[in-house]
Amino acid sequence: MSKYVFGVDVGGTTVKLGYFDMEGDLKDKWEIPTRTENKGESIIPDIAGSILVKMKQEGIAKKDIAGVGLGVPGPVTDDGTVLMAANLGWNMYNPNKELGELLGVPVKTGNDANVAALGEMWKGGGQGHANMVAVTLGTGVGGGIILNGQIICGSNGAGGEIGHIHLNDEETESCGCGNTGCLEQYASATGIVRLAKKKLADSSKESVLRNEEVTAKSVWDAVKAGDELAKEIAEMYGKYLGKGLANVASVVNPEIFVIGGGVSKAGEVVIDYMKPYFDKYAFPGAKNAKFALATLGNDAGIYGSAKLVIG
């Protein structure tokens, strides 16, 4: 009978590791640097070494370990094949075999955003829901879709790329993905700054935002302080996000959306500005979705990759 499971969140700069008991209580977490040189060939051996050291320190035997889960920044198919992970230097590569051989335990790999979604479902804002969509409002807009408790990878690992729902035919600037008018161009941290700068240029209204650096945080702080122009920006933001999530709801009809990422640190106010537009645009049968904030922060990935192993 296994006692522990390891969760690993592989980022471009650091690898976060943690281990849990089988109920999902985090026993310990730590980080190691991500060594991306030579096509990232050291990353998996480094992870194996770090886990072996921890096992020795804690007196954990191999037979006590259910397995190791990995979250990786790139498209990953159902069988754990990473199609590409540019930030790690990896081309197509399935880490399950190599890490499994180094440690002698089962390994499962998933996309980092999807795995974080699974973590939020297990122990975070989505607890108790088997059908959820995690939305990460960060530098970009990421998504993770869980249906019947299972991650939706899509046919080539692009399932849940909700940041690239097309919303605006009139957009002239390009999204990072190469398209124009994607949700991410408005709802990310850089998106709200773009919306704010446009609004500040188009309007002559006074605003505290004219006297300080415009960031996602400064915009939401101004909204909370009652700044009228900031509220107009939040209204635009809410409309794009609400429309995007409404379209997601009409496709997969989740019970709950769990909102995380840097922009969501502003709190419930983000949901408050989005919700009226979600209600307006979602298919009636899908309108009753709940909304919650993510609660695991940067630990969502280690929770979710551990859950990937537990199943």
Chain residues that interact with its own copies, rule: CB under 8 A? 75, 78, 129, 131, 143, 145, 147-148, 150, 152-162, 164-166, 177-179, 181-182, 243, 246-255, 280-286, 288-289
Q: Please, what is the minimum distance in Å from the beta carbon of residue 104 to its own copies? A: 29
Contact criterion met (CB below 8 Å) for 257 and 232: no
Burial degree of 311 (CB within 10 A; 0-12, 13-18, 19+): exposed
Nearer to its own copies among residue 87 and residue 250 (C-beta): 250
Q: Please, what is the minimum distance in Å from the beta carbon of residue 293 to its own copies? A: 19
Exposure string for 180-219, b = 16+ CB within 10 A, e = fewer: ebbbbbbbbbbbbbebbeebbeeeeeebebeeeebbbebb
Nearer to its own copies among residue 124 and residue 160 (C-beta): 160
Nearer to its own copies among residue 178 and residue 311 (C-beta): 178
Q: Please, what is the minimum distance in Å from the beta carbon of residue 120 to its own copies? A: 16
Contact criterion met (CB below 8 Å) for 144 and 115: yes
Nearer to its own copies among residue 17 and residue 241 (C-beta): 241
Q: Please, what is the minimum distance in Å from the beta carbon of residue 211 to its own copies? A: 33
Nearer to its own copies among residue 157 and residue 304 (C-beta): 157
Give the other-Cβ count within 10 Å of 68's Cβ. 29
Tell me the helices (H) and strands (E) count for the chain, helix number first. 10, 10
Nearer to its own copies among residue 132 and residue 219 (C-beta): 132
One-character DSSP codes across 37-75:
HHHHTTHHHHHHHHHHHHHHHHT--GGGEEEEEEEESS-
What's the chain's Rg over C-alpha atoms?
A: 20
Q: Please, what is the minimum distance in Å from the beta carbon of residue 20 to its own copies? A: 27
Q: Please, what is the minimum distance in Å from the beta carbon of residue 41 to its own copies? A: 25
Three-class SS of residue 109? strand
What's the Cα-to-Cα distance from 230 to each of 6, 132, 186, 236, 237, rounded to whole Å?
Answer: 43, 30, 15, 10, 10
Contact criterion met (CB below 8 Å) for 258 and 133: yes
Nearer to its own copies among residue 92 and residue 251 (C-beta): 251
Nearer to its own copies among residue 226 and residue 284 (C-beta): 284
Q: Please, what is the minimum distance in Å from the beta carbon of residue 76 to its own copies? A: 11
Q: Please, what is the minimum distance in Å from the beta carbon of residue 244 to its own copies? A: 9
Alpha carbon dihedral 163, 283, 263, 143, in 10-degree steps, equals -40
Contact criterion met (CB below 8 Å) for 220 and 111: no
